[in-house]
Amino acid sequence: MLNKYLDVQPEVAQAVAEGRPVVALESTIISHGMPYPQNVETALQVEQIVRDNGAVPATIAILGGRLKAGLSKEEITYLGKTGQAVTKASRRDLPVLVSQGKDGATTVTTTMMIAHMAGINIFATGGIGGVHRGAETTMDISADLEELANTPVMVVCAGAKSILDLGLTLEYLETHGVPVIGYGTKELPAFYTYKSGFKVDYELDTPEELAAAFKVQRELGLKGGILVTNPIPREYAMDYNVINKAIDDAIASSLAEGIHGKETTPYLLAKVKELTGGDSLDSNIRLVFNNAALAAKTAAAYCRL
């Protein structure tokens, strides 16, 4: 039985009912990830890439207090124009946003939740949240990691954002039993770069292998998801030293300005974009395109099993 607060777009509902491939997409990247109109253009391109690779796209958001699995072009445009005035909605925000009939752009956490409610198994995003640098004193750990431990959705990403403590992020996922798979790599990608110096649990090389692992996880009754880390294409990757210096400078700036909590990631990403002259935004868009294509191919392979 579907949740009474959930609206599933008819095309998405039909595909799920017929066992056809569907890929969930988040909406924070639209409202908080980049400026208008580039955000809307990118979101629509990502949906088209999902279609071109054999799946139905389901962009997810909260609109007027309704959990939406699948948005119209008009709804995507509304989110893009409204931008950061839309609440960045994690798990803790849902009761109030829904009860008050408000809008919310979904993070990795809430996209996973709503996708699972709608019967969607696979989700493509840019990068996941994780353990922030200094978390041993701040306890700043993204809710994305807890959701991966508890919600049976495969998340295809370009690794964890390199503004985070990648070693502690991997340790947290290991503790919670979340498999971290490198697509064609043994090394955890670090969002803007295809290397980090940290090893993933397994390397798999085809969408069919990813789909098979996810199917077995479901059949074993394991409660969490699988994290697929798909490196940014090398031609769009940023220089490792350049991006790390920009991140270090952005973190120092955030500490000086007293930025904390859920404002941290948007602040740091904006600062990194500023420090890199916009190159980081271009890389961000390309890695999302790459993840959408892999997620669609994996969803198609999963439906063939």
pLDDT reported for residue 64: 98
Cα–Cα distance, 73 to 37 (Å, whole number): 13
DSSP of 109-125: HHHHHHHHHTT--EEE-
In angstroms, the Cα distances linking 232 to 112, 184, 209, 229, 272 are 22, 11, 20, 9, 17
Cα–Cα distance, 25 to 27 (Å, whole number): 7
Domain boundaries, the chain: 6-304
CATH of region 6-304, choose from 3.40.220.10, 1.10.1040.50, 1.10.1060.10, 3.40.1790.10: 3.40.1790.10
Catalytic pick among 26, 47, 75, 147: 26
What pTM, to 2 d.p., does this model score? 0.93
Render pLDDT for 259-301 as a digit per residue (tens, 0 to 9): 877 677 778 778 877 877 777 788 889 999 999 999 999 999 9
Catalytic pick among 161, 271, 273, 297: 161
Pick the closest to residue 103 from 57, 49, 61, 134 (CA basis). 61
pLDDT reported for residue 2: 62
Average model confidence (pLDDT) across the chain: 93
Percentage above 90 pLDDT, the chain:
74
Confidence of residue 31 (pLDDT cuts 50, 70, 90): very high
17, pLDDT greater than 80: yes
Task: List all residues 6 or more positions away from 279 whose beta carbon is below 8 Å from its beta carbon.
Answer: 238
Task: List all residues 6 or more positions away from 222 whose beta carbon is below 8 Å from its beta carbon.
Answer: 152, 177
Whether residue 74 lies in the annotated active site:
no
pLDDT reported for residue 1: 45
pLDDT reported for residue 244: 80
Environment class of residue 304 by beta-carbon count within 10 Å: exposed (0-12), middle (13-18) or buried (19+)?
A: exposed
In angstroms, the Cα distances linking 288 to 230, 252, 301 are 10, 27, 20
The stretch 244-251 carries a mean pLDDT of 83
The stretch 248-253 carries a mean pLDDT of 85
The conformational region for residue 154 under phi > 0 = left, psi -120 to 50 = alpha, else beta, is: beta
**122 and 295 in contact (C-beta within 8 Å)?**
yes
Whether residue 26 lies in the annotated active site:
yes
pLDDT reported for residue 162: 73
The stretch 157-167 carries a mean pLDDT of 88
| Paired tokens of 132 | 């922030």
